[in-house]
């Protein structure tokens, strides 16, 4: 009897350890971590290497990030060279063979979407150009469900025993997302033809999707601060084109957009680009709710 009891205890302990087993998933940005947690459920432990209100192009590769990457079973990145300035040294210095280039523990999400604005010529004369195309594809809500499916597929590859859970979670997410997507389509489509200026080419996927007219950017070239001459030219053009909105992100200086809005009679609004970029954007759903609400639709 004692032996039977011991065997039962051992089996229970083994089952508990399997239930608690998790994939350690390290994500470049908060929106990826939120999406991965929804698909992975209790079988994954996720963390983001950056914060939502940071400039996604310029994250400092601190030792703490290297330590977090060292134990990762999977590293999920935005890709399209958005992380080119900071993630490679984190991966290299982590000495984690699972997440090196070409390994199944490294997932580049940019390969699952169609990128826009791929430059015909790449040189420093064009500013901080991304040779693979505009990397801010996550701000088109139509890209999110396909990305979730890619994440589910990679989790299944690394953890075949979790397939049923990942498929169920993905199905539930898709149902919820498609319902909300129909609502966002209605709200954003009401902005068709509205003329805007943004600081950076951050919201170009959103404007293109819904027919919002991007008249220009406060940056004369990507990553290049505006000169007084450029601001003056943009002011004249904004008046001529009857721009009604200046779209400001949370990490670039807002003074130029604020001044242009005052001078032209337009409205400046601060839009989040990631989960937790502003307090209201607490997850991937409320990110788009916040964008739609601040655009006034």
Cα–Cα distance, 40 to 155 (Å, whole number): 7
Q: Tell which wins on pLDDT, 141 or 19.
A: 141
| pLDDT for the residue numbered 172 | 98
| pLDDT for the residue numbered 167 | 98
Read off the pLDDT band of 19 (50, 70, 90): very low
| pLDDT for the residue numbered 7 | 39
The sign of the torsion formed by the CA atoms of 123, 129, 130, 131 equals negative
Edge to edge, the sheet with strand 106-108 lists: 44-48, 23-27, 74-77, 106-108
Please state the rounded mean pLDDT for residues 218-233. 94
For every residue of 152-216, DSSP letters joined together read: HHHHHHH-GGGHHHHHHHHHHHHHHHHHHHHHHHHHHHTTTT-EEEESSTTSHHHHHHHT-EEEE
Contact 158, 74 (CB under 8 A): yes
Read off the pLDDT band of 257 (50, 70, 90): very high
Please state the rounded mean pLDDT for residues 202-211. 98
- In this predicted structure, the answer to whether residue 13 has a pLDDT above a threshold of 60 is no
Would you call 52 exposed, middle or buried from its count of C-beta atoms within 10 A (0-12, 13-18, 19+)?
A: buried
């Amino acid at each position: 009897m004692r032996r039977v009891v011991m065997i039962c205890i051992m089996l229970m302990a083994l089952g508990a350890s399997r239930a608690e087993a998790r994939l350690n998933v390290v994500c470049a940005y908060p929106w990826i971590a939120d999406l991965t947690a929804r698909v992975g459920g209790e079988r994954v432990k996720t963390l983001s290497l950056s914060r939502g209100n940071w400039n996604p192009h310029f994250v400092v590769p601190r030792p703490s990030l290297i330590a977090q990457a060292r134990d990762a079973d999977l590293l999920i990145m935005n890709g399209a060279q958005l992380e080119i300035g900071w993630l490679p040294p984190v991966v290299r210095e982590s000495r984690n063979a699972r997440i090196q280039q070409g390994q199944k523990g490294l997932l580049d999400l940019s390969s699952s979407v169609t990128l826009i604005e791929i430059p015909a010529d790449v040189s420093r004369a064009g500013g901080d150009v991304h040779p693979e195309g505009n990397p801010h594809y996550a701000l088109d809500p139509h890209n999110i469900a396909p990305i979730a499916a890619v994440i589910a597929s990679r989790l299944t590859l690394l953890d075949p025993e979790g397939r049923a859970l990942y498929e169920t979670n993905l199905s539930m997410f898709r149902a919820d997302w498609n319902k909300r997507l129909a609502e966002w389509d209605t709200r954003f489509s009401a902005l068709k033809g509205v003329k805007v200026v943004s600081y950076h080419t951050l919201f170009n996927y959103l404007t293109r999707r819904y027919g919002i007219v991007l008249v220009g950017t406060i940056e004369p070239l990507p990553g290049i601060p505006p000169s007084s001459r450029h601001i003056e030219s943009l002011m004249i053009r904004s008046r001529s084109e009857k721009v009604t909105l200046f779209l400001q992100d949370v990490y670039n200086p807002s003074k130029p957009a604020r001044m242009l809005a005052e001078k032209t009679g337009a409205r400046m609004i601060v839009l989040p680009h990631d989960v937790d970029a502003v307090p209201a954007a607490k997850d991937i759903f409320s990110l788009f709710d916040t964008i739609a609400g601040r655009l006034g639709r």
